[in-house]
């Protein structure tokens, strides 16, 4: 952590000087970060000269790939579970693990849907908004973070047992978004930031913060990937310049918090 703190304190011009020789940095990032991390990587490449290669998928898929030996330098997960899982296998540099940004969970409908805004409480009957053969699009709760949060939120509202058989389970949250965007599902549960990237859907309800654990994105360097270029990029991602980019894409900035190894 001392090394990371040292990089966080470096001014931008010095970070650029340190990276005078271009390096390749491979990042595995949750699908919900696609737009924001792509924009952040482009900004950093222009500033540093390094090349950022990014693989986006569900956090579960990426974590398993890393555990199987995929050549990643950095992992950004959409929940703590999959970062914990890699930590338990001693696959990450524990002293580089930090919570990076936060998000919210919403219910969406196609933009031309007749369904109006709803208040998500324990008295809300979400099933009543579905036709007899309709399903609600969601990341697969068995492994996709957005789906796991959705199950927790629906359970809190007393809706899970009713809605579980009515789910259209997608491989990641962006796939769930696409089902609603194309009109193949009348409703979906995605992150707030996913709904913000397209005009094809509208938010009809926001889950209460206390209906699910905080949606935070942990980031860490992969074991033995703690060289200067990788640590440099991680420090930049946790700084103000990247923070502004994430805010532009609807994420909530949070104070970087080193969470160490899984408890």
Does the structure show a pLDDT above 50 at 193? yes
Coil, strand, or helix at residue 233?
helix
Q: Identify whether residues 96 and 110 lie together within a single domain.
A: no
Answer yes or no: is 211 within a domain: no
Q: Identify whether residues 120 and 93 lie together within a single domain.
A: no
Q: Identify whether residues 120 and 143 lie together within a single domain.
A: yes
Q: Identify whether residues 244 and 117 lie together within a single domain.
A: no
* Domain-terminating residue out of 206, 224, 246: 206
Q: Identify whether residues 86 and 114 lie together within a single domain.
A: no
Identify whether the C-beta of residue 255 lies closer than 8 Å to the C-beta of residue 49: no
Q: Identify whether residues 97 and 115 lie together within a single domain.
A: no
Answer yes or no: is 263 within a domain: no
C-alpha span between 61 and 30 (Å, rounded): 9
CATH of the domain at 46: 3.40.190.10
By residue range, what is the domain housing residue 193?
A: 105-206
The pLDDT tens digits for 205-219 are 999 999 999 999 999
C-alpha span between 218 and 148 (Å, rounded): 16
Does the structure show a pLDDT above 60 at 11? no
Q: Which are the contacts of 91, defined by CB distance < 8 A and separation ≥ 6?
A: 66, 67, 222, 223
What's the gap between Cα 256 and its chain centre?
15
Confidence of residue 2 (pLDDT cuts 50, 70, 90): very low
> How many domains does the chain divide into?
2
Answer yes or no: is 174 within a domain: yes
Does the structure show a pLDDT above 90 at 15? no
Q: Identify whether residues 6 and 92 lie together within a single domain.
A: yes
β-partners of residue 108 are: 188, 203
Does the structure show a pLDDT above 70 at 5? no
Q: Identify whether residues 65 and 155 lie together within a single domain.
A: no
């Amino acid at each position: 952590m001392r090394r990371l703190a040292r990089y966080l304190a470096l001014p931008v011009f010095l970070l650029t000087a340190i990276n005078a020789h271009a390096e390749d940095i491979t990042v595995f990032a949750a699908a919900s970060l696609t737009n924001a991390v792509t924009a952040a990587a482009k900004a950093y490449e222009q500033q540093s000269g390094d090349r950022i290669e990014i693989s986006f998928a569900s956090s579960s898929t990426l974590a398993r790939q890393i555990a199987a030996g995929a050549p990643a330098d950095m992992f950004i997960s959409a929940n703590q579970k999959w970062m914990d899982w890699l930590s338990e296998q001693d696959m990450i540099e524990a002293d580089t693990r930090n919570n990076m940004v936060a998000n919210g969970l919403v219910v969406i409908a196609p933009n031309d849907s007749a369904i109006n805004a709803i208040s998500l409480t324990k008295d809300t009957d979400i099933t009543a908004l579905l036709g007899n053969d309709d399903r609600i699009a969601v990341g697969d709760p068995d492994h996709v973070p957005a789906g796991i949060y959705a199950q927790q939120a629906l359970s809190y509202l007393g809706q899970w047992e009713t809605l579980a058989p009515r789910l259209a389970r997608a491989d990641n949250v962006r796939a769930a978004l696409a089902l609603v965007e194309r009109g193949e599902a009348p409703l979906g549960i995605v992150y707030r930031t996913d709904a913000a990237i397209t005009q094809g859907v509208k938010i009809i309800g926001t889950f209460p913060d206390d209906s699910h654990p905080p949606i935070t994105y942990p980031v860490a360097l992969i074991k033995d990937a703690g060289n200067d270029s990788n640590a440099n990029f991680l420090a930049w991602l946790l700084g103000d310049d990247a923070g502004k980019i994430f805010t532009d894409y609807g994420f909530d900035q949070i104070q970087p918090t080193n969470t160490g190894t899984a408890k």
